[in-house]
Amino acid sequence: MKITSRFTLYALLITAFISGMHSLGFCEKQERITLETNGRPKQYDVIETKRYEIVEVEDSVITPDVLTSVAEQAIADAEKDAVAHLNRTMWFSAGCFFPLVGPILSQRYQPFMPTARVLGKSPQYVAFYYDAYKVKTKKIQFTWSMIGCFVGSPIGSYLIPLLYRAIRN
């Protein structure tokens, strides 16, 4: 009875994963819209995360040197924030208790990004920040999920036959 409930739970998790694949992802393309404000056209970038945000485009010329320093700063800030805000215990537990589903789910789930960190920053900074944050969080999530998988699999392979024998007797 308990084994069938476990398989039912796995089937529900896999179904939820497959049906929610498109809703959890991020949009890779960036959309630019033009609106008129007080008779002047202004351009806005629409950046899609888990909610929509509209960021005003500045009409300034950015040199490659400035763009490189903006990119380096944004990437450094994003990686630091990703390490600080990610829940490693949750991903370790997901890998430990669900050895097949945990690592797959860690690659599909994207946590909310700290939007307060990018307020008042340039659109280039925001773009580099979001990309770097997404890559770093997925890497950390997958790493901790796999560590949990390697710890939980031997324990599960020992406990499942033990529980099966206890149920049969």
- For the four alpha carbons of 58, 60, 63 and 66, in that order, the dihedral sign comes to negative
How confident is the model over 80-106, as pLDDT tens digits? 999 988 889 999 989 988 888 889 998
pTM higher than 0.85:
no
Give the C-alpha distances (Å, rounded to integers) separating 153 from 50, 79, 94, 102, 158: 33, 30, 12, 12, 9
How confident is the model over 115-131, as pLDDT tens digits? 888 888 888 888 889 98
CB 132 within 8 A of CB 79: yes
